[in-house]
A and B are shown apart, each in its own frame.
Chain A
Amino acid sequence: MTNDKLNKHEWPLWEVFIRSKAGLDHKHAGSLHAADAEMAIENARDVYTRRMEGVSIWVVESKNIHASDPGESASLYDPASDKIYRHPTFYDLPDEVKYM
């Protein structure tokens, strides 16, 4: 089977994001195949929330996600490595402030 033929018979890939409880953010849970957005949400419900993992689902077609290039990671991320002053570790926190 050629790639073209294979792709024609396969449903598009979707990325699934699950929020585990109200107030938290959606986290990437995995990916799955589905023919349309409704089916993607239902498949995500059946595959990723069957053990009570979530209260909200986002799905996005994988082709719509644009990623940074791993080959450019040196120029993108290394410059931050010697700038420790960007971390808020130089401040003295009063004892009353919790959960920081």
Chain B
Amino acid sequence: MSLEYTLRLADDALILGHRLSEWCGHGPILEQDIALTNTSLDHLGRARSLFQYAAEQFNNLPENEKKTAVTSVAIQNLVNTGNTLDEDDMAFLRDGWDFRNVLLVEQPNNDWAYTVARALYYDAFAFYFFSALQNSKETTLAAIAEKSLKEVTYHLRWSSEWVVRLGDGTEESRERMQTALNELWSFTGELFNMSDAEKEAALSGIGVDLASLQPKWMERIASVLQEATLEVPKGTWMQEGGKHGRHTEHLGYILAEMQFMQRTYPGMEW
């Protein structure tokens, strides 16, 4: 189960990092283009550390568990031919159903307001999450959390200030910021909805009790939105599924673009 927990964290990092990398060369100004690329690289760096750890956990599984832990076809082909897995296999050879990221991070960039809204919701979660994960009994996860917290603290500052800037900006920026916050709101519930792997990890002191983070997250979001003169969205119906491998249609397109080279030219390097 601990492998599933590691993948759960790694996939958030990989998919959000990839999403933000789509802004590279398309940012509204050079400075913000670089800002988002930096942030994207923070997420991808975290994904690498976590995938290395996940591959190690996978390789240490008993043979029979390797058949069921990750069922993607290309992964099983490696297992059946007696290969061990590495970080790249985890990122590039798993199919959509094996991905455990929350639906929020796979949502399209759409426009600047959507990108900023998604960032605020996720960064505020990540800030409290990694603060808590520093106390994990699993020393690898605790070390990754300590490093990530510094990065995420900056991400949260960046996204909070943008929400305030746009919310308390012009009539148009205010309206578009509020729309983006409303549209993405239904993806925030899943952040705190614990899967079996997450419950088990929390109980054993490896993971974080997500329910305990929700009030702090809510308070932070409310305070940023208040400063931005925006409304906290009111909807109570929440999307879910990502943590169980049931994704929105957007994930397939991300994987197609991200995995194409390794799938077509296995093991290629450049």
B161 and A43 within 8 A (CB)? no
Question: How many A-B pairs fall under 8 Å by CB?
Answer: 30
Contact of A42 with B157 in the complex, beta carbons under 8 Å:
yes
Question: Shortest Cβ distance from A35 into chain B, in angstroms?
Answer: 7
Are A39 and B161 closer than 8 Å at their CB atoms? Answer: yes
Decide if B31 touches A38 in the complex (CB within 8 Å): no
- For B, the interface residue count at a CB cutoff of 8 angstroms equals 12
Q: Which residues 14-72 of A have a CB within 8 angstroms of B?
A: 32-36, 38-39, 42-43, 45-47, 50
Q: Interface majority SS on B: helix, strand, loop or mixed?
A: helix
* Most chain B CB atoms below 10 A, which of A35, A38, A42: A42
Give the residues in chain B near A42, CB-CB below 8 Å: 35, 157-158, 161
Bound Cα distance A46, B157 (Å): 13
Size class of the A contact interface (CB-based, 8 Å): 10 to 19
Cross-interface CB contact of A32 among B31, B154, B161, cutoff 8 Å: B31
B29 at the interface (CB under 8 A from A): yes
Decide yes or no whether B238 CB sits under 8 A from chain A.
Answer: no
For A46, the chain B residues whose CB sits under 8 A away are: 31, 34-35, 38
Residue numbers in B under 8 Å from A36 (CB-CB): 165
A46 to B32, CA, bound (A): 8
In the complex the two chains form, what is the Cα distance from A34 to B29 in whole Å? 9
Nearest chain B CB to A7 CB, angstrom units: 15
Partner of B35, one of A11, A33, A35, A43: A43
Question: By the criterion CB–CB under 8 Å, are A34 and B34 in contact?
Answer: no
Interface residues of B in 159-176 (CB under 8 A from A): 161, 165
Bitwise interface map of B from 31 to 70 toward A, beta carbon under 8 Å scored 1, else 0: 1101100100000000000000000000000000000000
Contact with A along B13-44 (1 / 0, CB 8 A): 00000000000000001111011001000000
Contacts of A45 in B (CB 8 A): 154
Residues of B within 8 A of A (CB): 29-32, 34-35, 38, 154, 157-158, 161, 165
